[in-house]
Amino acid sequence: MSIAAKFEIEYLQYLDAEGKQVRDDLPEFANDLNHMVELYKLMLSTRVFDAKSVALQRTGKLGTYASCLGHEAAHVGIGSAMKPEDVFAPSYREYGAQLYRGVQPREVYMYWGGDERGNDYQKEPARHDFAWSVPIATQCLHAAGSALAFKIRNEKRVAVCTIGDGGSSKGDFYGAINIAGAQNLPLVAVIVNNQWAISVPRKIQSGAPTLAQKGIAAGLYCIQVDGNDIIAVRKAMGDALDRARNGEGGSVLELVTYRLSDHTTADDARRYRGEQEVKDAWAKEPMKRLRNWLVAKGVWDDAKEEAWKNECDEWMDNEVNAYLETKTQPVTAMFDYTFAEVPADLAKQRDLALQLDKKAH
């Protein structure tokens, strides 16, 4: 019997769990230690931001919040590899990538506080990125559509979307990567495999040895990456973006990491996963390995860490205050931006809402 095709999925890693190099051929950007320090600082900022967000939710100042604890290398690696002209279609927890691209913490707080104006990012390049997408995988189609537009316009831009391990089983994801392969679109689809789709573990989501190989059927380049190793993430993303930008097609990247937190603040992961599993995951978390590597290089120490944490605390306090001081929208806002001409039934509801609001005040 003849073989129609054979495939392999490469696995990329530069730093092990202790921050020791497992290969000597570091990419060029990793030799710029100042750049690597800046990436670590953003990872640390993201972790401080995340802790502050959970605290806000627990004290009733924020709605349900999706933590990014443990995803710092994956998310910052994605954002730092992109060019300003590229477009990002996130799901709902890729804050590290978004902070790199100019999203302000106060905007995240506004969004999770129930104010859609948080999606109206004020700074570039985030200004032309997509809003957060809570419906699972729909953002992948938005990114594919953007990639098609870039190709039609002959623009050297790339659309990047992120999706979780569970979301990669959705038809929206498959549809997006299929059209990307069929039309040779500049799309980079990143599966952030944090091992859990809420309470559904990776082992029963798919029978495939890797999630990266889902892109094979679409004709895309596929690679699995240590998602806790920011050097590996940044390298794999950079290569995928270059291929897409040069007309060589799209890619599917699987970043293997772990969700150290609950799915959201409305979840209690202790109900469905064991304590030892989480403890083992903490031993592989992304901050420790990059910090150890930078310390070994002589460019980071405890004093710098403490000083930066203090700066982060001050930054987040200012952002929290800006969020809390933002005037709420009038009750009519929920009606004003849905239709160009408000239908009669909604107009009646709008009037009733106004009457109830006036009584309440």
**Catalytic annotation, residues:** 259, 263, 272
- The DSSP secondary structure of 102-169, one letter per residue, reads T--HHHHHHHHTT-GGGGS--STTGGGSPPP--STTHHHHHHHHHHHHHHHTT----EEEEEETTGGG
- 188: helix, coil or strand? strand
Dihedral of the alpha carbons of 163, 48, 83, 78, in degrees to the nearest 10 = -30
Q: How far apart are CA 152 and CA 190, in angstroms?
A: 23
Q: How far apart are CA 49 and CA 25, in angstroms?
A: 33
DSSP tag of 15 = B
Q: How far apart are CA 60 and CA 49, in angstroms?
A: 17
Please give the single-letter amino acid code of residue 271.
R
CA angle 244–247–251, rounded 5-degree value: 30
